[in-house]
Structure 1
Amino acid sequence: MLRVLIADDEPLARRALRRLLAPHEDVEIVGEAESVAQAMELVGSLRPALILLDIEFNGADGFDLLAAMADPPRVIFVTAYAEYAVDAFAVEAIDYLLKPVAQPRLDAALDRARRLLAPPPEAPATLELRAPGRLLRCAPGDILAIEAEGDFSRVHVADQPPLMILRNIGHFETVLPCPPFLRAGRSILVNCARVRSLDMRSRDEVKLTLVGKAEPITLGRAAAGRLKQALAT
């Protein structure tokens, strides 16, 4: 079962989330909180795997809750405020939903939560990467980074030209081991063991250099922040 805590100070919002969660038979709502203090207490006693978390409520915000916990559960933000999206992904939020939330949007967020919270599969010794007219077999550690390109993924392999694979980035996220692979943003998966340097070119542009690849990859501010945080731990 996916144990979920709802944290929102609006009773109508909590009721709406209960209704949206009802079709998911594998979801157990273990509690509801209407303040950061109450959410903190319930996380400690109930140990949910996932929080559906508002950002602004009762004089505090959801980021205060996450900052106060050494090992917080995974979180899906559910909020009326669009301006916190970058900050949300910097704290490794699974998703960021704007109220009012449509059923398909919550369903997609829960699907991603299930994938991320599932026990990690054993990494294969060799991966087969099939591109048009090309087949490459490599060890997972030889993959440097993967960039999302719609339904395709641009796979960067050490000392090889990039391959365009008809697999989305979520597929590789479930196959490759974490660590060392990190989903630094919606469109980038990075092998942290292969990071050579992060070069800040501007406030919103960072160049990522990887061992085994001559040309750097451009990262946005949020992805660079998550990667820096992971490399520092």
Structure 2
Amino acid sequence: MLRVAIVDDEALARRGMQRLLGEYPQLEVVGEAASLKTAMELIRVERPDALFLDIEMHGGSGFDLLQDLQERPDVVFVTAHDRYAVKAYDFAVLDYLLKPIDPKRLAAAVTKLEKAQAARQALLKHQAPTLRLRTSTRTVIQRIDTIVAMRAEGDYTRVFVANGPAILVGQLLGKFEAQVPTPPFLRINRSLIVNVDRIRAIETIDRDTMHISLDDCAEAFVVGRATAARIRKLYPGLPRRVSLTSPGGDGT
């Protein structure tokens, strides 16, 4: 199923496109927008696979919208003007339809959208699993096998990656818990998920406090003794790879 959105400042044009796209059971129209501002919000919330996008609109153009998007869905321009065709393909759009829409040309555009989606899905099958991390300024596609830990910080989550800077993401930790595999990831308390395969050492700080050190991560994570014991209980093989040390001790 392809999730598509319609962006056009003319209500009649939007209704007409809704009717035409309704003939394609493989398409789901997830929303429509009459302005660039509402289009940005629609795309942010619904994350459609494709846009059927007008060019000349009140307050800006379809090109302005595409320039403002950090990640672009596939785009089919739908316009009454043919003079923008060359510029449109500079934006790598999939197709360019002229109003009134020729049903055969629309069918060809839908076929292009389906082929583009199939190509993306085939590529993903051969790639390492990733997480989409959305910060305040950008979206990072991060390979899951490079993530060493995730820590809740209020309404945010700080994602620690191997040999790199941590990434502060505007999402709650619980959202990520369902997106990472268990094992090796384990939510060891309310605020911390760790990659158990990367645990290097559990160090005793005092009677109630321990530090967990992870490979390829400069940060040491503070946990209680009960949490450390829970990790060892859930992963019986872990003690063979984890050294327990105490201040002034010999590591045994």
Normalising to structure 2: TM-score of the pair? 0.47
Counterpart of 1:23 in structure 2 is 23
- Aligned residue pairs: how many? 122
Counterpart of 2:96 in structure 1 is 96
Structure 2 runs not aligned, ≥5 long: 124-252
1:110 counterpart letter in structure 2: V
Partner of 2:51, secondary structure, is strand
Q: What aligned pairs does 1:73-152 form with structure 2 within 5 A after superposition? A: 73-120=73-120, 121=122
Partner of 2:17, secondary structure, is helix
Structure 1 runs not aligned, ≥5 long: 123-233
Is the 2:36–2:59 Cα contact (8 Å) retained in structure 1? Answer: no
Cα distance between partner residues in 2 of 1:36 and 1:59:
7
Cα distance between partner residues in 2 of 1:53 and 1:103:
17
Higher relative contact order (CA 8 A, sep 6+): 1
Once the two structures are TM-superposed, the CA of residue 41 in structure 1 deviates from its matched residue by: 0.5
2:72 counterpart letter in structure 1: P
Cα distance between partner residues in 2 of 1:32 and 1:16:
12
Once the two structures are TM-superposed, the CA of residue 51 in structure 1 deviates from its matched residue by: 0.3
Cα distance between partner residues in 2 of 1:99 and 1:78:
7
Cα distance between partner residues in 2 of 1:67 and 1:106:
25
Which structure would you say has the larger Rg?
2
Cα distance between partner residues in 2 of 1:59 and 1:43:
18
Cα distance between partner residues in 2 of 1:64 and 1:51:
14
Spell out, residue by residue over 1:114-163, the C-alpha distance to the aligned partner (whole angstroms, 9 max, x if none).
101214447xxxxxxxxxxxxxxxxxxxxxxxxxxxxxxxxxxxxxxxxx
Q: What is the CA RMSD across the aligned residues, in angstroms?
A: 1.1
Cα distance between partner residues in 2 of 1:33 and 1:102:
22
1:23 counterpart letter in structure 2: E
Once the two structures are TM-superposed, the CA of residue 23 in structure 1 deviates from its matched residue by: 1.3
Cα distance between partner residues in 2 of 1:105 and 1:20:
12
Counterpart of 2:42 in structure 1 is 42
Counterpart of 1:167 in structure 2 is none
Once the two structures are TM-superposed, the CA of residue 87 in structure 1 deviates from its matched residue by: 0.7
Partner of 1:67, secondary structure, is helix
Normalising to structure 1: TM-score of the pair? 0.51
Cα distance between partner residues in 2 of 1:56 and 1:9:
9
